[in-house]
């Protein structure tokens, strides 16, 4: 059973986590490590829709979540995501994938004959502070990729993607969000790599 401590007093005093920020700060998630498809190659990608990802209840709020023990998390009221993390991560993944050579946005006012849909659930999204000398950003999501064409729905890919990025000496909220962005970037690259192998089996031999 996971215990979530929601009081500011417990967060700052009882858990021993230092936070020098006295005002609320808002942060945005992004992934910018993927080179966008060249205009001439954009049409070669398959149409992709990304359904809003579900998220485990422990991480649904906008405040940063810190893991301080095996089954104990704390909520930061002062450092938050600009919007709900599930929505922001869904948007980040969608934008990065449709700007890659493998995928393309779904055409407006038109339903393609062959379309892919990505959906799933974020199962972990937190800053791991159980070891003060090895703080890290953790993100895990179980994703499914389906294909819809004249033959109906077909499951193309079902996989859990995870990233744990060390923060190093700088454990500030800014450093956490930067590490989390690197983790998302790595997951997106893994999705693209897995999809490419499915589309080009010869590359995986």
Question: In the predicted model, is pLDDT for residue 12 greater than 90?
Answer: no
Least confident of 13-17, 50-54, 145-149, 190-194: 13-17
**Confidence at 38, pLDDT banded by 50, 70, 90:** low
Backbone angles phi, psi at 197, to 5 degrees: -65, -35
Looking at residue 199, what is its pLDDT?
79
Rounded CA gap, 183 and 56, in Å?
Answer: 18
**Confidence at 193, pLDDT banded by 50, 70, 90:** very high
- Contact (CB, 8 A) for 47 and 107: yes
**Confidence at 2, pLDDT banded by 50, 70, 90:** very low
Question: In the predicted model, is pLDDT for residue 202 greater than 70?
Answer: no
Rounded CA gap, 111 and 79, in Å?
Answer: 40
Concatenate the DSSP letters of all residues of 50-62 into one string.
EPPPEE-GGG-SS
Concatenate the DSSP letters of all residues of 76-111 into one string.
EEEEEESS-HHHHHHHHHHHHHHTSSSEEEPPTT--
Closest by CA to 56, choosing from 2, 130, 92, 129, is: 2
Looking at residue 6, what is its pLDDT?
41
Strands 103-105 and 54-55, by their bridges, are unpaired
Read off the tokens for 175: 């450093």
- Contact (CB, 8 A) for 61 and 70: no
| Residue partners of 202: CB distance under 8 A and separation at least 6 | none
117-164 pLDDT tens trace? 999 999 999 999 999 999 999 999 999 999 998 888 899 999 999 999
Length of the chain: 205
**Confidence at 8, pLDDT banded by 50, 70, 90:** very low
């Amino acid at each position: 059973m996971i215990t979530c401590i929601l009081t500011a007093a417990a967060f700052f005093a009882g858990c021993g986590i230092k936070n020098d920020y006295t005002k609320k700060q808002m942060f945005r998630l992004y992934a910018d490590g993927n080179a966008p498809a060249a205009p001439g190659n954009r049409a070669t990608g398959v149409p992709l829709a990304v359904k809003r990802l579900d998220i485990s209840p422990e991480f649904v709020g906008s405040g940063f979540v810190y893991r301080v023990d095996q089954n104990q998390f704390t909520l930061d009221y002062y450092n938050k995501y600009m919007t709900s993390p599930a929505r922001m991560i869904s948007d980040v993944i969608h934008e990065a994938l449709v700007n890659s050579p493998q995928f393309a946005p779904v055409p407006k006012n038109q339903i393609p004959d062959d379309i892919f849909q990505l959906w799933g659930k974020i199962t972990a999204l937190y800053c791991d502070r159980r070891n003060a000398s090895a703080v890290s950003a953790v993100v895990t999501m179980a994703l499914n990729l389906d294909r819809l064409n004249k033959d109906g729905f077909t499951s193309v890919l079902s996989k859990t993607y995870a990233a744990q990025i060390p923060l190093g000496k700088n454990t500030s909220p800014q450093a956490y969000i930067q590490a989390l962005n690197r983790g998302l970037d790595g997951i997106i690259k893994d999705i693209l790599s897995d999809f490419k192998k499915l589309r080009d089996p010869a590359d995986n031999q």
